[in-house]
Amino acid sequence: MELKRVVVTGLGAITPVGNGVPEFWENLVNGVSGAGPITHFDASLFKTQFACEVKDFDINQYLDRKEARKMDLYTHYAIAVAKEAVEDSGLDVEKEDLNRIGVIFGAGIGGIHTFEEEVSNYYTHLEMGPKFNPFFIPKMISDIAAGQISIMYGFHGPNYATCSACATSTNAIADAFNLIRLGKVNVIVSGGSEAAIFPAGVGGFNAMHALSTRNDDPTRASRPFSASRDGFIMGEGGGCLILEELEHAKARGAKIYAEVAGVGMSADAHHLTASHPEGSVPNL
C-alpha cells in the first residue's frame, strides 16, 4: 500500500498572547509574556496567584449565546480555533465528502470548571436532594469538543478525543497524521484546548508542588532550564491544525503551510510526573 503524504492547510489559535493566529504569532516572536495575576477566580489564598490566561475572549463572536451556554470554556476555545482553522484552510464544506473529514481534538482535563460548579451546587443544596444541570456531563467530558466541532460542520469521519496530559494535542495531531497517511480520510481537524485555571486546577497542581510561586514576578517565573526553577505556569487556550492529504489539497488549490514528515510516540515508564533524569534516547 502506498502511504499518503500529509500537509497542513489551516491554522487556528486562542492563546494567552493573542486571539487568532496573526496576533498570537506577532506577540510570540516579539517575546510578549502571557503571564499575569489570575482573574478567573479569587486566588489570594492560593500559593500560586498567577497564570497565563486568555484575554478579551468573547465566545459570542463564534457561537449563538444559547448554544454557548451548553458548553464549558474549554469547548468554547475549541470551537473558536476550529472555526479559524477551517476558514483559513479554504475548505468548501458544501463540495467535500463529509464522510472523509474527521475531528481528533484533545483535552488533558476537560470541563473542570463545569465539574466544580455542579459539585458545589450539589453540596450547597444537599438538603433538597440531588439536582444537576442536564448539560453537566455533556459539558464536562473531554471528547465533547471534538463532537461539537463535527456537529457544527457535519463532519462524519473519525471523531474522538486524545487525553495524554501535556502531550494531548500532539497525540491528536499524530493520530490525524496516521489516519490520513493510511488513506482512511482526506482531512482531519486536529489539535486541542484546555481551560483549567480554576480553584481545582490551580489547587491540585499546587498540592503536587508543580507550580511556580513567584507571584511577584510572573513574567519571568517560567525558567525550566534554570537551577532556580520552582515549577511551571498554568496556561489555557486552544490550537488547531487542518491536516490534509497532499493530493487532495493540491486538487482544490489549497495553500500549504508545511508537510508533516512523520511522528513518534513513547513513554519512559518512570514516574507519575517526573521525567527520567537520563532521558529516553532509544525512543528518539
Query: 58: how many CB neighbours lie within 10 A of its CB?
Result: 11
Residue 217, φ and ψ in degrees, nearest 5: -150, 60
User: What SS3 state is found at 240?
Assistant: strand
pLDDT of residue 281: 61
Structure confidence by residue, pLDDT tens digits, 37-81: 999 999 999 999 999 999 999 999 999 999 999 999 999 999 999
Mean pLDDT of 261-274: 88
pLDDT of residue 276: 83
Q: Is the pLDDT of residue 159 over 80?
A: yes
pLDDT of residue 164: 95
Q: Which CATH architecture has domain 6-260?
A: 3-Layer(aba) Sandwich (3.40)
Residue 233, φ and ψ in degrees, nearest 5: -115, 130
Q: Can you name the residues that pair with 105 across neighbouring β-strands? A: 191
Q: Is the pLDDT of residue 103 over 90?
A: yes
Q: Is the pLDDT of residue 271 over 90?
A: no
Among positive and negative, which fits the CA dihedral 14, 239, 23, 224?
A: positive
- What's the whole-model pTM score? 0.96
pLDDT of residue 186: 99
Q: Which three cell numbers stand for residue 215?
A: 507571584
Q: Is the pLDDT of residue 23 over 80?
A: yes
pLDDT of residue 275: 83
Between the CA of residue 34 and those of 12, 124, 248, what are the distances in Å? Answer: 18, 35, 37
Contact 236, 75 (CB under 8 A): no
Least confident of 10-24, 249-263, 268-282: 268-282
User: What SS3 state is found at 216?
Assistant: coil
Structure confidence by residue, pLDDT tens digits, 201-249: 999 999 999 999 999 999 999 999 999 999 999 999 999 999 999 999 9
**Region label for 139, one of left (φ > 0), alpha (ψ between -120 and 50) or beta (otherwise):** alpha
pLDDT of residue 58: 97
Single out the residue of 52, 50, 54 nearest to residue 23, CA to CA. 54
Q: Can you name the residues that pair with 37 across neighbouring β-strands? A: 50
Q: Can you name the residues that pair with 187 across neighbouring β-strands? A: 101, 244
Q: What is the rounded CA–CA span in Å between residue 155 and residue 251?
A: 20
Sequence-distant (6+) residues with CB within 8 A of 32 are 17
